[in-house]
Amino acid sequence: MIGFALCHGWAFDASAMRLLSSHLRAYFPQHKQAFFDLGFTGTPHTPRLDKHIHWIAIGHSYGFAYLMQHNIDWRGAIAINGFTRFCQPVPVLEETDKATHKSRPRNSTQGIPAWIIDAMYARLLVDTHGTIAAFYARCIDVGTIELPIPTTLVREALALHLKKLRDTDMTLPICPLLAIAACDDTIVSTTQARAQFQRHPKMHYIELTGNHLLPLTATQACANAIAQFLASLSMEISHA
């Protein structure tokens, strides 16, 4: 049996994945579902995943990176507005080019400078509500949907995972992987998504019209893409 393990992104909670889960239920009524909650608006929750079920990880934004760092035998992984490294790495210079006599950065500069997250962290500690409000505003197009700020915000959990988000630099799993990016994502650009995902040997990559909240603003399109991805994996999973 197949199951979906769903995890929301930074500053959200498990409810952010409920709409997508209901669409998936229409496609896959027999599949199990399990929800992670990182505790940004209340008590954190880590579900116990039955080892007899073939689990597919579905993570939104930082939620994808969070799931991938668990020691779980994922049979498939799905990143929605996801990334493997959010911030630019510290440049490592190559040997001086003999032709130009200049040194060039060895590693990719995709992502944002880490100091931006450090500044966000500092503001979070003194104005948690304002920091989350500003972040929500950057996630969506004006007038797309309303994102009310949760009544309860757990600053300690938000701060802890914001630092982890800043430092994330993960290796993709060897299982089949679907990356769903958004053409108008102002948090994780398609340029960054393509650079970080497209070299995976078992990659399915798709770009949808929308913003950084595809599970909420392009739910049906995400469910369609996931259904097509699972159709391509059905024989592999059933014989695993």
Place of tokens 């997508």: 20
- What are the residue ranges in the chain where pLDDT is below 70? 90-109, 142-143, 234-240
pLDDT of res. 30: 93
- Predicted local confidence at residue 104, as pLDDT: 44
Which of 209, 147, 117, 191 has the alpha carbon at shortest distance from 8? 147
Query: Strand 203-208's sheet: what is its strand order?
Result: 32-36, 2-7, 54-60, 76-80, 177-182, 203-208
Asked if 209 and 181 touch (Cβ cutoff 8 Å), the reply is no
pLDDT attached to residue 106: 43
Domains of the chain and CATH, by start: 2-86+109-238 (3.40.50.1820)
Q: pTM (2 decimals)?
A: 0.90
Model pLDDT, residue 142: 59
pLDDT number for residue 107: 45
Q: Quote the pLDDT of residue 140.
A: 86
* Residue 198: predicted pLDDT: 87
